[in-house]
Amino acid sequence: MKKPITWRLLILVAGTLLGLLAGLGFSAPATAAAPSSFVTASFGAGLDLDITYNGTFVVKGRYYKAEKVYVKVVRINKNGRYNVVAHKHLQTRKGNFEWSGNKLQCGKTYQAHSYSYKDGWDSSRTLHVSC
């Protein structure tokens, strides 16, 4: 059997390592299975972004539970950050909505995001505008 001081040091070191991992945004594995958030995540399950050749966009949402949804279209930079180029609060009609605009530049990559209290965040696929 180990001495009590050895166990205390072992627990101290293990706690410090787990704390450092949590500070970096990682978490200790709880199971050997893949996390369920990665398995069940599906981008654009209820949100779709369509872009025409001249930069006109249409955002369509389907099967939302909420009556009011916040929608934004973002330009994704090369470093992975994004800038909001258009946003709007929309009323749903039987869970569906549609919004169009024409602010998108050629040669850029865009994605739509929506948020409602009942549905949470949703994202569309990323699309590149080529003119």
Instruction: Output the pLDDT for position 17.
Output: 65
Amino acid at residue number 86 = A
Residue 15, H or E segment? helix 4-23
pTM score over 0.85: no
CATH number at residue 85: 2.60.40.10
Q: Per-block average pLDDT, block size 10, for the chain (131 residues)?
A: 67 69 58 37 65 86 92 91 93 92 87 92 90 74
Same domain? 28 vs 53: no
What pLDDT does 100 receive?
92
Residue 42 pLDDT? 39
pLDDT score at 115: 94
Based on the structure, what is the number of domains in the chain?
A: 2
Same domain, 97 and 120: yes
Q: Which domain holds residue 79?
A: 43-128
